[in-house]
């Protein structure tokens, strides 16, 4: 069991914290769309911002165990992370617009489908682009 943990630790933690981030996303979306009656695209935008902040903190700290140090290193990493998440943000907004406005899917169902795609895209971008080469910590 310990060997499996060590082998798949990163993926297991990514899935776990991805679940946490998804709950933040869905919870914020439901709060703004259903409780406060904010239009669904605005609710999606607010939910994405909150989820992105949650994802950065959890991915940096626990999933990829970033070793970026100093102001320059952390700002470079944050820049890469937020740039990658901008791709996710646009993808989520596009999925919601196409699914709800053009295809007339239920917005909650579309949010679920959109999040499945986004979780996969985010992992690939984080692994390849954001937290790559973590053994070489960037210092200022």
Question: What is the tens place of the pLDDT at every residue in 35-79?
Answer: 999 999 999 999 989 999 999 999 999 999 998 999 999 999 999
Task: Report, as an integer, the average pLDDT of 93-107.
Answer: 95
Look over the chain and give the mean of its residue pLDDT values, rounded to a whole number: 90
Nearest alpha-carbon partner for 123 in 12, 2, 7, 3: 12
Residue 138 belongs to some domain of the structure: no
Residue 78 belongs to some domain of the structure: yes
pLDDT at 132: 79
Residue 55 belongs to some domain of the structure: yes
pLDDT band at residue 133 under the 50/70/90 scheme = low
Residue 3 belongs to some domain of the structure: no
pLDDT at 137: 46
pLDDT greater at residue 127 or residue 140: 127
Residue 79 belongs to some domain of the structure: yes
Domain that holds residue 68: 8-130
Residue 2 belongs to some domain of the structure: no
Residue 84 belongs to some domain of the structure: yes
Contact indicator for 26, 47 with CB cutoff of 8 Å: yes
pTM over 0.85: no
Distance CA 12, CA 3 (A): 13
- Cβ neighbourhood burial of 32 (10 Å; 0-12, 13-18, 19+): buried
Instruction: Provide the domain count of the chain.
Output: 1
């Amino acid at each position: 069991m310990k060997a499996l943990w060590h082998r798949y630790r990163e993926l297991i933690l990514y899935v776990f914290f991805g679940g946490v981030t998804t709950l933040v996303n869905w919870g914020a979306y439901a709060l703004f769309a259903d409780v406060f009656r904010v239009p669904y695209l605005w609710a999606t935008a607010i939910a994405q911002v909150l989820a992105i902040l949650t994802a950065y903190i959890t991915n940096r700290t626990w999933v990829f165990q970033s070793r970026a140090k100093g102001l320059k290193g952390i700002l470079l990493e944050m820049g890469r992370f937020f740039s990658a998440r901008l791709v996710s943000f646009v993808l989520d907004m596009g999925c919601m617009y196409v699914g709800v406005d053009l295809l007339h899917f239920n917005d909650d169902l579309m949010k679920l489908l959109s999040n499945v795609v986004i979780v996969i895209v985010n992992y690939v971008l984080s692994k390849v682009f954001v937290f790559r080469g973590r053994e070489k910590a960037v210092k200022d």
